[in-house]
Amino acid sequence: MTTGRFLVVGIGPGDPELITRKAERLIGTAAVVAFHAGVRKESHARRIAAHLIPADVVEEELRYPVTTGTTDHPQGYVGALADFYDECEQRLAAHLDAGRDVVLLAEGDPLFYGSSMYLLDRFRDRFDVEVVPGVPAFAAATATVPAPLVRQNDVLTVLPGTLPEPELARRLADTDGAVIMKLGRTFPAVRSALAQAGRLEGALYVERASQAEERWLPVAEVDADSVPYFSLIVVPGDSARPASAARMRAVWAPTATSEADSLRRGTQPQPSELLVIGLGPGPDGWLTPEASAALAEVDHVVGYAPYVNRVPQRPCLQRHASGNTVEVDRARFALDLALRGERVAVVSGGDAGVFGMAAAVFEAAADPAHPEHATVPVRVLPGVSAVQAVAARAGAPIGADFAVVSLSDRLKPWPVVERRLRAIAEADLVLGVYNPASRSRREQVVELQKIMLEHRSSDTVVVVGRDVGRAEESLTVTTLGALDTDSIDMKCLLIIGASSTRVEPNGTVWTPRWVD
Say how many CA atoms lie within 13 Å of 67 toward its Cβ. Answer: 14
**Chain segment 165-215, per-residue pLDDT in tens:** 988 998 998 899 999 999 988 999 999 999 988 899 999 999 999 998 999
Helix (H) or strand (E) holding 171: helix 165-173
Which tops the pLDDT comparison, 20 or 79?
20
Quick one: DSSP state of residue 51? G
Lowest mean pLDDT, pick from 3-17, 87-101, 138-152, 392-406: 138-152
78 has a pLDDT exceeding 90: no
Greatest Cα pair distance, the chain, in angstroms, is 97
How many angstroms separate the CA atoms of 438 and 349, rounded?
A: 18
Taking residues 92-114, report their average pLDDT.
Answer: 95
How many angstroms separate the CA atoms of 100 and 10, rounded?
A: 20
Question: Beta 204-207 vs 215-218: how paired, if at all?
Answer: antiparallel
Q: What is the pLDDT of residue 467?
A: 93
First and final CA of the chain: distance in angstroms? 90
Q: How far is CA 222 from the centre of its chain?
A: 28
Q: What is the pLDDT of residue 71?
A: 81
User: Helix (H, G, I), strand (E, B), or coil: what is residue 362?
Assistant: helix
CB burial of residue 454 (10 Å; 0-12, 13-18, 19+): exposed
Q: What is the pLDDT of residue 68?
A: 66
Sheet holding 177-181, edge to edge: 156-160, 177-181, 231-235, 204-207, 215-218
Quick one: DSSP state of residue 367? -
How many angstroms separate the CA atoms of 468 and 132, rounded?
A: 49
Sheet holding 402-406, edge to edge: 402-406, 430-434, 492-496, 461-466, 474-479
Q: What is the pLDDT of residue 41?
A: 85
Taking residues 125-131, report their average pLDDT.
Answer: 95
What topology is assigned to 271-381 in CATH?
Cobalt-precorrin-4 Transmethylase; domain 1 (3.40.1010)
244 has a pLDDT exceeding 50: no
Local confidence band at 31 (pLDDT 50, 70, 90 cut-offs)? very high
Q: What is the pLDDT of residue 243?
A: 45
Q: Where are the alpha helices (DSSP H) in 234-299?
A: 242-252, 259-265, 289-295
Helix axes of 116-123 and 76-97: crossing angle, nearest 10 degrees: 60
Q: Which amino acid is at 429?
A: L
How many angstroms separate the CA atoms of 103 and 35, rounded?
A: 9
Local confidence band at 138 (pLDDT 50, 70, 90 cut-offs)? very high
**Chain segment 260-297, per-residue pLDDT in tens:** 444 444 556 899 999 999 999 988 899 999 999 999 99
What topology is assigned to 139-240 in CATH?
3.30.950
367 has a pLDDT exceeding 70: yes
255 has a pLDDT exceeding 50: no
Cα separations in angstroms, 140 against 146, 181, 346: 9, 13, 41
Helix (H) or strand (E) holding 168: helix 165-173
Residues 6+ apart with CB under 8 A from 267: 252, 253, 254, 255, 256
SS (H, E, C) 2-45: CCCEEEEEECECCCHHHCCHHHHHHHHCCCEEEEEECCCCCCHH
CATH architecture of 5-135: 3-Layer(aba) Sandwich (3.40)
User: Helix (H, G, I), strand (E, B), or coil: what is residue 462?
Assistant: strand
Identical fold at 271-381 and 387-510? no
Taking residues 42-54, report their average pLDDT.
Answer: 94
Strand partners, 231: 207
User: Helix (H, G, I), strand (E, B), or coil: what is residue 263?
Assistant: helix
CB 302 within 8 A of CB 314: no
For the chain, how big is the Rg over CA atoms in Å? Answer: 30
Q: What is the pLDDT of residue 260?
A: 42
CB 337 within 8 A of CB 303: no
What percent of the chain lies above the pLDDT cut of 90? 76
Choose among 182, 155, 151, 153: nearest CA to 168.
182
The class level of CATH for 387-510 reads: alpha beta
Mean pLDDT of the residues in the chain: 90
User: Helix (H, G, I), strand (E, B), or coil: what is residue 464?
Assistant: strand
How many angstroms separate the CA atoms of 164 and 182, rounded?
A: 13
124 has a pLDDT exceeding 50: yes
Q: What is the pLDDT of residue 247?
A: 37
Taking residues 437-458, report their average pLDDT.
Answer: 94
Q: Where are the alpha helices (DSSP H) in 399-442?
A: 414-426
Q: Which amino acid is at 463?
A: V
How many angstroms separate the CA atoms of 436 and 485, rounded?
A: 9
Choose among 425, 427, 405: nearest CA to 416.
405
Domain ranges of the chain: 5-135, 139-240, 271-381, 387-510
**Chain segment 375-416, per-residue pLDDT in tens:** 999 999 999 999 999 999 999 999 999 999 999 988 899 999
